[in-house]
Chain A
Amino acid sequence: MASLNLLVGVCLVYVAFLFSVAFAAERAAVRGRSGWLRTPLVYTLSLSIYCTAWTFYGAVGYAARSGMEYVTIYLGPSLVMIGWWWVLRKLVRIGRSQRVTSVADLISARYGKSNTLAIVVTLMAVVGVTPYIALQLQSVTLSLSIFAGPPDVDGLNGLNTLSAGFWVAAGLAVFTVLFGTRNLNANERHDGVVIAIAVEAVVKLVALMAVGIFVVWGIAGGIGPMMERIDSSALGTWQLDRSRWAALTVLSAAAFLCLPRMFQVLVVENDDERHVQIASWAFPVYLMLMSLFVVPIAVVGLNLLPAGSNPDLFVVSVPLSQGQTGLAVLSFLGGFSSATSMVIVATLALSTMVSNHVVMPIYLSIKPGGASMSGDVRDVILRARRLSILLIIALGYLYYLLSGGSGALAAIGLISFAGVAQFLPAMLGGIFWRGATRIGALSGLCLGFAIWVYASLLPSFGQGAVLPVSFFEIGPWGIGWLRPYAFFNIEGIDPTVHAVFWSLVLNTGTFVVASLLSFPKPLERLQGAQFVNVFDHSGQARGWHASVAASEDLMIMAQRILGATEAQALFRTAAKEQGMTGHLPEPNPAFLERLERELSASVGTATAHAMVSQMVGAASVSVEDLLAVADESAQMLEYSSQLEAKSAELSRTAGQLREANEKLTQLSVQKDAFLGQISHELRTPMTSIRAFSEILRDADGLSVAEKTKYASIIHVEAIRLTRLLDDLLDLSVLENGQVSLNSATGPLEAVLDQAVVTAQASGDGRLQIVRLRAAADTVLTTDMDRLGQVFINLITNAQKYCRADAPQLEISVRADADVLSVSFRDNGTPIPDAARALIFEKFARVADGDGSGAGLGLAICREIMARLGGDISHVPQAVGNLFVVQMPRDAALAAQPV
């Protein structure tokens, strides 16, 4: 019998061997000579972490307890690999193109990068995998205990399984930390680990086969006698429970896709999509070999060993009972390999999830400065990884303690399977159904997981341990249809089938219904399209390393962006540094990174990354990249639209300047015309004055009558000049808005009366003025003097220009609510249409005036009325002219410039 010390020593040597293999692999990978690391064979062997200690030890135990049912555990993954390899291919493609690092990452990325979803999946995975890790602890501990011999009555010589479990757990934790978190790799790939688990896959297969061969040929004496033994054993008579078979096959298939560690090796560590095709037949072959001797070992174990021996340990205890210590140690190593490879990859995958989705978001939100990937952040990540590894293994140990380390391995494994199988609807729905939404995934996952916890996990501690016994008998709070083993009062189903069936059915149902009822966010839609149509987006299937960017392509692109001289200098320098002779360097990661950095200065980080990725073909452009590119484009667009706006503004300014220029030109023309008019109006009377004053001075023999006449002409013309100057000044003041108005309140009729009296005093009296006093008592508030000036002007105009035989002016007032209108209607010749447009302009005089006005009167009237908040207009008439003055009853008399 081998001593425990020897076993521990063997384990240590074995672990050291694994370390050296892993170390060599990583060094090779760093040097870029990793071709042999990433072959279809290694990929297939790495998938063997599906076969854990559960399969290694438990399958035999399972067969000894339940007959052929253990086959389901192999059947599910085989069906997936053979029948569903295209699902795997799709997962691998998505994983690549989206740079997915874990199953939580996949689900969260698919549903719009939802961090909530990532956290939920992470926590569920941790909880779901905990029993599985406990299972590994238990199997290693149990196998150790076999070597320690049966415990005697005092328990002194035997192995204390609980403390042994602790040491196994501690050892596994240290092992994993050392293995998996030595450094940080951005793509979460672990060359060393993969090669180590491939080696372990060989060890466990060889160990199991060796035990099988020994059993068949060494004990039973060949195939024929072996078959007879099987036929005569109880195994041959086991009834097949169809519902369990179906449920377990589905379950193991689901778990194969959903287990975090399986996702890690299937998708994250995958190096070439084509490896999936080869693994699709090679892995089932491996599984078949693993299961080949399960039944013989179980049957022989049942025959040879005393009743009550733990069938889970037949693989070790059978050779041991035959004195084959070496074989037993080999078998133990196989089991040890199974357990360690599972624990390493599972905790690595889980710790990635925990650190990426739980620790880092919290850390980054606490730490100011954001997500710059500086050195200290890397340290934080590594520390988070190590801590989560310890935590996860500690949880597994806790479960092992709580469950008493007594349950059958297969039963514990199935609980884990059922837990992680809850990811399946969200995962498959996510990659095949664009309508799947975040809300759907989240609600399906939560409900399914809750049912699993309630109907599978908690009962696994034993009835009455966590859930009270009453729950199982009458239901929680007496609600019968909620009993953990009899939902909806449907009884008599196997508890495993029951939990799997209800959790998956309700999970899927909720997922579908909630997806249909909810509306995805834009990012969800985009990601959904990317996932479902991944083959449309990401080009041909090819090996990631095999695709080497053509340096020329990179050069062409770089020239376009950086300019020919700079790009060539960059490439030449890089080539020289690499020791190459030509102008083009090897497109190795260091160079690509440098190129990307150079490019990003010109086109933005995201665009540069997307461009280089496209060229290198290492990864297709993810939605995130595209969004970032869109972001950058948007910024450029905004910049260009700013430029556009500026140019529009400039042309608008130019237009305004042109307009102003035109206006100035026009004003200049108007000013010239105005000056010409003023000049004319001033020079004309002055001409008369000068001529007659010279006549009076120079001419002899003028009669008194002539002298008087000429003097009075001079007088009249002088007055005309004065009035003209007065009007000009008045108009100027009014136009500039500098006029001060004196507001007063009084009857409108009084103003009119005064105006009539004033006008008549200077008129010739021919004009008959008719007053219609319908609104005699109208009172208004305005500048009375200015309003009177307007009235006088209108009456004077009528006196001057009304050429009727019996000239008449009818003045009437109409008072509306707010507006007062005064009409001046004469019976003279209507102003011609052509002139009417001009009469309110300065110096506009209708032809054949008597020359006594300068043509400023109506212009002044218009300005005054504008100041008073009113208006003056000429209304064409069939006979005569009608001027209408309108004003507010209560003028707000602020002098406003027009």
Chain B
Amino acid sequence: MDKHVLLVEDEVNIIEAMRFLLTREGWKVGTHSDGATAVSAIRAAQPDLVVLDYMLPGKSGIEILTELRALPDFAALPVLMLTARGQSRDREKAEQAGVNRFMTKPFSNTEVLNAVRDLVRV
């Protein structure tokens, strides 16, 4: 059975790369690139995993995650957060918000795939 991943990301080239990699891993890949509407998109998609960009137009990844964790159905949803800002404070914020995994761009493909596998092994 195919696992469903939702990429919340606004960089087209990164979406392209992630889609390629995850598809080959057997994921069903959905994408969404607007922060403001991301929570409802996630609720609608009911994915097994969310890959969430830190900086998004309209609403930041932290805000989205905080809202998501407040929803009972999504309190345990695995979330992999990606950031290009590379500051340690961001990691703390993300962990406080309830992130499962936090990765700084650029990352190696192996790295990101291992993380995804870890998160959904359960």
A and B: real partners?
Answer: yes
Tell whether A324 is near chain B: CB-to-CB under 8 Å: no
A694 touching B58, Cβ below 8 Å: no
Tell whether B21 is near chain A: CB-to-CB under 8 Å: yes
B12 touching A687, Cβ below 8 Å: no
Q: What is the interface of chain A mostly: helix, strand, loop, or mixed?
A: helix
Tell whether A805 is near chain B: CB-to-CB under 8 Å: no
B interface footprint on A101-112 (CB within 8 Å = 1, 0 otherwise): 000000000000
A687 touching B106, Cβ below 8 Å: yes
A851 touching B24, Cβ below 8 Å: no
- The residues in A between 628 and 678 inclusive whose CB is less than 8 angstroms from any CB of B are 672, 675-676
A interface footprint on B10-21 (CB within 8 Å = 1, 0 otherwise): 111110111011
Tell whether A699 is near chain B: CB-to-CB under 8 Å: yes
B58 touching A686, Cβ below 8 Å: no
Tell whether B57 is near chain A: CB-to-CB under 8 Å: yes
Contacts of B16 in A (CB 8 A): 688, 713
A interface footprint on B57-73 (CB within 8 Å = 1, 0 otherwise): 11000000000000000
A interface footprint on B24-66 (CB within 8 Å = 1, 0 otherwise): 1000000000000000000000000000000101100000000
A689 touching B20, Cβ below 8 Å: no
B85 touching A695, Cβ below 8 Å: no
| B57: contacting residue among A680, A698, A716, A848, CB under 8 A | A848
B interface footprint on A690-711 (CB within 8 Å = 1, 0 otherwise): 1110110011000000000000
Contacts of B106 in A (CB 8 A): 683, 686-687, 689-691
Contacts of B18 in A (CB 8 A): 691
Tell whether B104 is near chain A: CB-to-CB under 8 Å: yes
Complex Cα distance, B109 from A744, in Å, reads 53
| CB contact under 8 A between A698 and B109, given known A683-B104, A847-B58 | yes
Chain B, residue nearest A845 (CB):
B57
Contacts of A717 in B (CB 8 A): 13
A interface footprint on B78-111 (CB within 8 Å = 1, 0 otherwise): 0000001111000000000000000011111110
Complex Cα distance, B20 from A678, in Å, reads 27
- The residues in A between 334 and 371 inclusive whose CB is less than 8 angstroms from any CB of B are none
Tell whether A829 is near chain B: CB-to-CB under 8 Å: no
B109 touching A691, Cβ below 8 Å: yes
Closest CB in chain B relative to A692 CB, distance in Å: 6
Contacts of A713 in B (CB 8 A): 13, 16
Chain A, residue nearest B108 (CB):
A694
Chain A, residue nearest B86 (CB):
A679
B109 touching A687, Cβ below 8 Å: no
Tell whether A768 is near chain B: CB-to-CB under 8 Å: no
Contacts of A672 in B (CB 8 A): 87
Complex Cα distance, B110 from A180, in Å, reads 124
Complex Cα distance, B35 from A848, in Å, reads 11
Complex Cα distance, B20 from A706, in Å, reads 11
Complex Cα distance, B31 from A535, in Å, reads 105
Contacts of B21 in A (CB 8 A): 691, 695
Chain A, residue nearest B57 (CB):
A847
Contacts of B24 in A (CB 8 A): 699
Complex Cα distance, B58 from A692, in Å, reads 28
Complex Cα distance, B72 from A656, in Å, reads 52
B17 touching A851, Cβ below 8 Å: no
Closest CB in chain B relative to A690 CB, distance in Å: 4
B105 touching A686, Cβ below 8 Å: yes
Complex Cα distance, B19 from A713, in Å, reads 15
27 contacts between A and B (CB under 8 A): A675-B87, A676-B85, A676-B86, A680-B84, A680-B85, A681-B84, A682-B84, A683-B104, A683-B105, A684-B11, A686-B106, A687-B17, A687-B105, A687-B107, A688-B16, A690-B107, A690-B108, A691-B106, A694-B110, A699-B20, A713-B16, A716-B13, A717-B13, A847-B57, A847-B58, A848-B57, A851-B11
Q: Which residues of B come within 8 Å of A, CB atoms?
A: 10-14, 16-18, 20-21, 24, 55, 57-58, 84-87, 104-110
